[in-house]
Copies of this chain bind each other. A is one copy, B any other.
């Protein structure tokens, strides 16, 4: 009776419903009410003719009926659901009271699905939120707690993750698909004699996101410390959303430039040549910061209108300067068994230079996607209902 795999409460039931021209007024037992357009209701009919019984995917095709197909009758069933009969074709639809309520889009009754998000800086206590690796691997409640923190703060740490080379892939697999890139499925960060990237030197790395050079920057990054015996190499982590918001407050002109003028990004490799153009800050349709794209050495020669060049440089300089502010960056040192998981389109990470002559610093990492995280959270929450 519902067109998906969720369960919805049957209470409160629908107590009254009537057609009001182009929509249906629905009232639930507890007094809440909402309007649903006829066209919306017809499209969302959950019956077995309109939704495939096994896949739960729609088989009714929107354009198979005329645009104007108003309800001929609107009634409430004895068990509190909404019944509609359609004028053209005479199709009958029943809408579950709880499903209707969960999908109400009308004014104050509208259900908001946005997940909480908390920005942070060096003054935020308890960063990064830290969880027990073995517990997360074995217990779905611990897993859910970890993932909700990751969604909320964009960064988390697991402790005591086993030191084998596959562990980071197993941890990422608790969420979903690992994203393979030109670096491989799992990749190593350590000083190498013939590095393909500055990450694989002992150099300091300015704060950045990984693969800013790709159309789709990975949404998640996992870094697992297997060995760390070197002087230096301390990590610096920043909430790019907080950085962007501070820029918006303190330098609105620079902020505007960074959301309007695209920067060019490019990798440099013998076997691949990824390039992309995107603004360093991307806003969602509500004006909130949705994504940052930052990385000093990942920038290609700027290729924008002549008059935009100096403003673009001034704006990026202001952003880079913020990333070195001590009140914003959270220093994080790795010890073996630590695993950092973070939103790679939100969190900037950098490191101080280290000395690679007296010991080894060896991290192993992989990438994932944000919507794998969100999917896993929904599935874990579904299992609890």
Contacts and interface: CB of A to CB of B under 8 A. Distances in A.
B55 A197 contact: yes
Interface stretch (A24-32, A138-146, A262-270, A326-334): A262-270
Is the contact region of chain A dominated by helix, strand, or loop, or is it mixed? loop
A67 B324 CA distance: 16
Nearest to A304: B105
A107 B307 CA distance: 10
A35 B198 CA distance: 31
B297 A59 contact: yes
A72 B271 CA distance: 38
Contact of A63 (B216, B309, B321): B321
B273 A43 contact: no
Interface residues of A, number: 86
B57 A197 contact: yes
Contacts of A316: 62
Interface stretch (A77-85, A176-184, A249-257): A176-184
A346 B161 CA distance: 42
B301 A215 contact: no
B63 A369 contact: no
A3 interface: yes
B201 A296 contact: no
Nearest to A324: B63
Given A219-B215, A303-B113, A272 B375 contact: yes
A306 B274 contact: no
A317 B63 contact: yes
A102 to B, nearest CB: 9
Contact of A320 (B35, B62, B285): B62
A106 B216 CA distance: 29
A335 interface: no
A382 interface: yes
A195 B301 contact: no
A271 B5 CA distance: 10
A344 interface: no
A33 B369 CA distance: 45
A179 B181 CA distance: 9
B273 A309 contact: no
Contacts of A110: 303
A206 interface: yes
A106 B306 contact: yes
A44 interface: yes
A110 B264 CA distance: 15
14 contacts: A35-B306, A43-B299, A43-B302, A52-B203, A55-B196, A57-B198, A59-B198, A59-B203, A62-B317, A105-B302, A105-B309, A107-B306, A216-B371, A272-B375
Given A262-B285, A272-B375, 19 more contacts: A4-B268, A5-B270, A22-B310, A35-B306, A52-B203, A54-B195, A55-B268, A61-B320, A62-B316, A63-B324, A67-B317, A105-B301, A106-B306, A176-B182, A176-B272, A215-B219, A273-B375, A273-B378, A276-B371
Closest 6 CB pairs of A and B: A56-B268, A58-B297, A273-B378, A57-B297, A103-B301, A215-B371
